[in-house]
């Protein structure tokens, strides 16, 4: 069958896919982290759709997720403040530009992509040589597969070596 991860599908109904009725919702991350389960009170929903009936549970999961992402960001290797501040300003300027000139914003984002590829080549190669997959993933705030994909892409390395 088809696997769907959108939480509101699991209402036991006959939608696009016959889905089971979820007992609880929880936030999950590709790093392997899972938040605590938040029980769904089906008997209180009446005729409401799951997405409408238990927005509070979804909000609790979103709050768990927010806490997790803050913890991941805090545990990742820090970007030095002058560069971090510059990146925040660049992001803000591109978002502002997108409101008036989407094409110019897209061009600016593409330029950032080119800069990333050009500047990350040697660091990616050094990291792939000097650090374990576990160390790399922890430092970048990613799971090991995503970290290895990033090194392969930026270092122009085979993902399968």
CA distance 128 to 131: 6
Ordered by start, the domain boundaries in the chain are 10-75, 81-155
Residue (of 108, 141, 147) closest to 124 by Cα position: 147
Q: Going residue by residue through the chain, which has 161 residues, state the pLDDT in tens, using 9 for 90 and above.
A: 556 666 666 766 666 556 677 788 899 988 889 999 998 887 887 777 777 777 888 899 999 999 999 999 999 999 999 999 999 999 999 999 999 999 999 999 999 999 999 999 999 999 999 999 999 999 999 999 999 999 999 999 987 76
Evaluate whether 86 touches 53 at the Cβ level (below 8 Å): no
CA distance 72 to 91: 21
Q: DSSP letter at 23?
A: S
pTM higher than 0.75 for the full model? no
CA distance 126 to 60: 41
């Amino acid at each position: 069958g088809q696997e769907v991860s959108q939480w509101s599908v699991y209402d036991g109904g006959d939608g696009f896919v016959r889905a089971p009725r979820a007992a609880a919702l929880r936030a999950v991350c590709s790093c392997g982290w899972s938040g605590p389960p938040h029980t769904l009170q089906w008997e209180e929903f009446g005729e409401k759709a799951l997405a409408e009936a238990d927005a509070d549970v979804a909000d609790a999961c979103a709050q768990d997720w927010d806490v997790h992402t803050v913890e991941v960001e805090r545990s990742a290797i820090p970007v030095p403040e002058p560069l971090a501040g510059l990146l925040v300003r660049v992001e803000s300027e591109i978002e502002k530009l997108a409101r008036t000139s989407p094409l110019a914003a897209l061009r600016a984002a593409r330029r950032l992509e080119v800069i990333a590829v050009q500047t990350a080549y040697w660091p990616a190669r050094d990291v792939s040589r000097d650090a374990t997959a576990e160390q790399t993933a922890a430092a970048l705030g990613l799971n090991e597969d995503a970290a290895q994909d990033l090194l392969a892409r930026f270092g122009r390395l085979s993902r399968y070596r």
